[in-house]
Amino acid sequence: MAMRPTIELWDHVGLGIIIEFPSGVDYSNQTGGTSCLHPMMEGVFVPLRNDCAEDTRQFLSPEHTLRAYFEGPKWKGTGATKGIDTEDADFIERVLAQYRLSCIGVNRERLAESHEAWVHIFITGEEEGGGPVFHGFGPYPRAGILTWTNTD
C-alpha cells in the first residue's frame, strides 16, 4: 500500500489547525514536549493568527500563550502525553476566544488523545473576523487538530 504524501510541520512557527479533510495529504508535527511524538492526520493545514509587529519585528501569536501554559507549573514541559483535562481545554478555548477563534472548540470526547501541540478540536462554522482565512469546509462541525511549535 503506497503512503500518502506527508508534510511535516516541525519547522513551522505559530498556531495552526489541521482541518480533517480528504486531501490525500497527511500532516504531522513534533508534539508532546520532550516525548517528541509525531502524530499524523489527513487534511488541510491552515496557519492562524500569526503576525509580526511592524515596528519591532516581534512575532505575535497565540502560540506564545499556549507554549507558556504547557511549560508552566502544571505540566512543566512534560508534554501532557497522557492526555489533557477539562481545565486545559477551558484554558485553550479562552485563548482561542481572545483571538476571535471561538468557531474552534476543544473536542472534550478526545481529551485523552490530546497533548501539548496536538489538541483534538471541532470547528463549528466559518472563521469569524475580517476576511476569514478558511471557509467552505462544511458541513459543520468538522474535526481537526490545533497545533503549534512543540516546547522540547
Report the number of distinct structural domains present in the chain.
1
**Does 101 map to a domain?**
yes
| pTM summary value | 0.93
Find residue 123's DSSP bridge partners: 104, 142
* Residue 129, SS3 per DSSP: coil
Q: Are 100 and 62 in contact (CB under 8 A)?
A: no
**Does 83 map to a domain?**
yes
**Does 76 map to a domain?**
yes
Taking CA atoms, 138 is separated from 57, 97, 125, 135, 143, in Å, by 36, 21, 7, 8, 11
**Does 100 map to a domain?**
yes
Cell of 36: 517528541
56-87 pLDDT, tens digit per residue, is: 999 889 999 999 999 999 998 889 999 999 99
**Does 60 map to a domain?**
yes
93-117 pLDDT, tens digit per residue, is: 999 999 989 999 999 999 999 999 9
**Does 99 map to a domain?**
yes
pLDDT at 152: 73
Cell of 67: 507554549
Cβ-defined contacts of 122-131 (< 8 Å, 24+): 123/17, 123/19, 127/48, 127/101, 127/103, 128/100, 128/101, 128/102, 128/103, 129/100
Can you give the residue range of the structural domain that contains 80? Answer: 50-121+143-152
